[in-house]
Structure 1
């Protein structure tokens, strides 16, 4: 197989990260439109991620933040975004480079993107073999009453493929109706049943008897 020297996979991921950048930049200027809100997952160990030691200890590998009701001072640059969030009632600022983002999901319209994040030590231009992704689960969060804008790492749920529809079975063939018997001619049947009358037996007279009579 020919080696991909153009690195289409990297170009596509960069382009899709540009989509996330554009969406967050518009929200930073005009706010969240309608019912839109975002779940953003990112690698907490990636270089450039800025977190407090308390939050990093709580989420040592990955975390997911919710941008819906309780966030402020969203600032977007070409390389990342900064936002204020409340963690168990304690306000903090996070700085997340776009290269650290692993997932972006808008539940209001079921739109999601998933990215591969290169860790430190991985050579540039090399990719890890694809692994079978675990089934993602998105837990519903009531952000209106929640005191914490951080949820367990989650990716957008994928709807299962619809079960195949069984073909309709052909309706059972109706039993052939018995053909109606033609009405029998009662008289004809009666005529068949009647035996022909036997002719009366002739009386035999001997010649002697005949002579005596004469």
Structure 2
């Protein structure tokens, strides 16, 4: 049996490390300038903690926005906890890094998407992460953010690949 380098998992670990570092900086110093984040995560992940009514409303995934109002951002090596406001109702969430599906900072056109293969096999070769393409599902109840009266754009990195 030959050994191989698992680039897909290495990339995922590095990308989640980047998110950890960014959030740790924000927890310490606050959001700089126009930076804000859209973070979509898997609400069924075993480590994710959110109110039952939020799990009922978002049974598979949820997008949260860190921008104007958030409180008690606590960052650990495995994930982060944060209090967000849902219709004048503050709720505490815990989001493990492994549950994150997308991380976007539209102020600088930066985005990450974590792709998974769910074909039922125990393949140790997961699909490597791909750059995030801007898209919005009809079912997404989160309104798009606007910057200076214009929709925020997410850059597609495919054109920079060799």
Q: TM-score, normalised by structure 1?
A: 0.59
Distance 1:69 1:39, change over 3 A: same
**Native 8 Å contact 2:115 2:128 kept in 1:** no
From 110, 126, 141, the equivalent of 2:145 is 141
Distance 1:128 1:22, change over 3 A: closer
Q: Name structure 2 gaps, 5 residues minimum.
A: 138-142, 147-152
Q: Name structure 1 gaps, 5 residues minimum.
A: 143-155, 162-214
Counterpart position of 1:57: 56
1: CA distance, partners of 2:60 / 2:133:
16
Counterpart position of 1:116: 115
2: CA distance, partners of 1:36 / 1:157:
13
Mapping of 1:86-165 within 5 angstroms? Answer: 86-117=85-116, 123=122, 125-127=124-126, 136-137=135-136, 139-141=143-145, 157=154
Which stretches of structure 1, 4 residues or longer, exceed 3 Å deviation after superposition? 121-124, 126-130, 156-159
Could you report, residue by residue, the CA deviation over 1:64-113 in whole angstroms, capped at 9, with x for unpaired residues?
10000110000000000000001111111000100000111111110111
The structure whose RCO (Cα within 8 Å, separation 6+) is larger is: 2
Q: TM-score, normalised by structure 2?
A: 0.76
**Native 8 Å contact 1:102 1:117 kept in 2:** no
Counterpart position of 2:150: none
Greater strand fraction, Structure 1 or Structure 2: 2
Aligned length: 144
Name the larger-Rg structure.
1
2: CA distance, partners of 1:33 / 1:18:
19
**Native 8 Å contact 1:100 1:117 kept in 2:** no
Q: CA deviation at 1:125?
A: 2.3
Distance 1:56 1:16, change over 3 A: same
Distance 1:113 1:123, change over 3 A: same
Q: CA deviation at 1:127?
A: 3.2
Distance 1:103 1:129, change over 3 A: closer
